[in-house]
Structure 1
Amino acid sequence: MATVTVDGIETHYEVRGTGPALLMYAPGGFDAQICKWSELGVYKRIRLLNHLPKHYTCILFDRRENGLSGGRVERITWDNYVQQGLGLLDHLNIEKAHLMGGCMGCAPVAAFGARHPHRVLSMIHYWPVGGAGYRIGSHQRFARHLSFVEENGLQVVVDLVLSHDKNFSADPRGGPWGQPIRNSSDFAQTYAALDVPNYLLTARGMMSSLFDRDTAPGAEPEDLMRLDIPTLIVPGADGFHATSAARYLQECLKGSEYWDVAPEAQTEATAPARVLEFLDRVT
């Protein structure tokens, strides 16, 4: 695994395979790291990384605030995640790439396409997050963290995070900067010394920016409707990956392909072949 600094934040990444570039935004919510492509839910079952690197240069990375990548306390928006991927492409001297997102990784893929369409060969949205349940659950997670900070202060957050290895989804009290706290004692010390009222405003602003709708987040529908980027959408069907979110992307992205297959039929025998068929056709 290699490291590069993007926008002042350390990014850990890995390049596998040969062929056209495929930038992959990992699944896993607030635990989005390279290993989730092989260890998490549907991705563990379909084993994409056993197949895609044989045909494409897969650029994998720990999203900022996740895994071994660094972080910074600020009002994070989808554009911040776009900047990380764009900076990684620039570092690797790649002008254009296919983009693939899994789960919450689909939102920065949509934002990337809307902001920098000239850098995008195609987009794949695999189990995009979204739906009313997803928005409500995300707001509840932030609310629990904010209440914990108000009641206990930021040093107690640091102490809690260092007492276990749970991510923001598993223990919302620790907040979205838990992993950088574990990764760096300097970050933890700076975090604990932050002004609490300003921190609360920052975290509330982040929540409002990322989870502002009951459809698939990431980009405004008017921006998506203007795109002419080949797109494949693979739906999920649960409380975090509502099928309605995938259908919303299909509605907004003209000419997109919607693989209308139930989750249980998405297997190693079917899913990698469908993704590769799409990529080969649009490359």
Structure 2
Amino acid sequence: MPIVDLDGIPTRYETIGQGPALLMFSPGGFDSSLENWTSFGRYKDLGFLGALSQRYTCIVFDRRESGQSGGRLERLSWSRYVTQALALLDHLGVDRAHTMGGCVGCSTAAALAVAHPVRVRSMVLFSPAGGYTYRAAQHLRFHRHLGFVHEHGLQAVVDLARESGAGFSKDPRVGPWAAALRNDEAFAASYAATDLGRYTAILSGTSRLLFDRDTVPGLEPEDLAVLDVPALVVPGEDDSHTRSAARHLQECLPDADYWDVPVAEQTPAACQDRVLAFLDAHSTDPC
């Protein structure tokens, strides 16, 4: 798979299929690699890539600090994730694309539409991550990582990340830069040498501002309320993908199509048909 430098960060991506561009923001939290569309949780059974690539050019990629993409030690934010996504569209010469987010990928998909609405034809927000329980779990994960850092030091984080192979979502001790620590020797050396006070500020700022609310993180309701991009919202129903998060998007987005179906009835065939019908309906530009 090709790797391209986007804003100074190596990014692994793949394009699959033919047709209008569909930029896909992977599920998986801080382990949002492109393989998650076919291997992570319920997505491995939903078959989105196989179905959607029959009519669309699916653009999948490793989010920065995930999979085989690189990273940078700085306060992480939704705007930085948007920068990576927009740079990938520019690299591929795509002026306008449909987007689809799974899980936490919904926040980046919506943030891209808010920041650059002319670049987004429509967005599918599938099982958006959010809710009080989700925010609390994310903050706890950062607290546990910071406790490990203060007890053992940053070199111990590097060593553990390389020994365990686990990501931040599974093992908080390895932190949100675990993938980059494995992929890049120079980054790992610089990371281990970082001043502890500086690192604490970067980490605390990431936790507080990335997971900033008890609805869908990172999105101001007033920005969503004036967004003209059509959206399909498909609810989840667990502690990380609460129905309240999906309902919040339905309430705020002026052109939201809410698929009010329980997860138990969101079969692969039903999900594929519903998403394709939505994308097809918004694939012809008005005259």
Q: Do residues 135 (structure 1) and 113 (structure 2) align?
A: no
Residues in 1 aligned to 2:163 and 2:51: alpha-carbon distance in whole angstroms: 38
Deviation per residue, 1:117-163 (Å, 9 max, x gap): 01110011000000100000000000001111111110111111111
Structure 1 residue 243: Cα displacement? 0.6
What is the alpha-carbon distance in structure 1 between the residues aligned to residue 39 and residue 187 of structure 2? 28
Alpha-carbon displacement from aligned partner over 1:40-69 (angstroms, at most 9, x marks no partner): 122112110110001001000000000000
| Larger deviation, residues 36-45 vs 10-19 | 36-45
CA distance in 2, matches of 1:71, 1:36: 19
Q: Structure 2: where are the runs of 5+ without partners?
A: none
User: What SS class does the counterpart of residue 164 from structure 2 fall into?
Assistant: coil
Secondary structure of 2:107's partner? Answer: helix
Check whether the contact 1:110–1:218 (CA below 8 A) recurs between aligned residues: no
Question: Residue 8 of structure 1 aligns with which residue?
Answer: 8
Letter in 2 for 1:93: G
Moved beyond 2 Å, runs of 4+: none
Offset of 1:265 from its aligned partner?
A: 1.1
> Conserved in 1, the CA contact under 8 Å of 2:145 and 2:172?
yes
What is the rounded CA distance, in whole Å, between the counterparts of 2:119 and 2:8 in structure 1? Answer: 22
Conserved? CA contact 1:125–1:232, under 8 Å: yes
Deviations 1:139-193 (A, max 9, x none): 0000001111111110111111111111101110110001110111211111100
TM-score (structure 2 length as normaliser): 0.97
Question: Does the aligned pair in 1 maintain the 2:212–2:218 contact within 8 Å?
Answer: no
Aligned positions, number = 283
CA distance in 1, matches of 2:163, 2:13: 27
Aligned partner letter, 1:275: V
> Tell me, which stretches of 5 or more residues in structure 1 are unaligned?
none
Query: Would the aligned equivalents of 1:2 and 1:13 in 2 still touch at CA under 8 Å?
Result: yes
CA deviation map 1:207-234 (0-9, x unaligned): 1111010001132111010111110000
Residue 27 of structure 2 corresponds to residue 27 of structure 1: yes
Sequence identity percentage: 53
Give per-residue Cα distances to partners, 1:80-124, cap 9 Å, x unaligned.
000111000000111000010000100111110110001110011
CA RMSD of aligned residues (A): 0.7
Instruction: Kindly indicate whether residue 263 of structure 2 is the aligned counterpart of residue 263 of structure 1.
Output: yes
TM-score by length of 1: 0.99
SS at 2:60 equivalent: strand
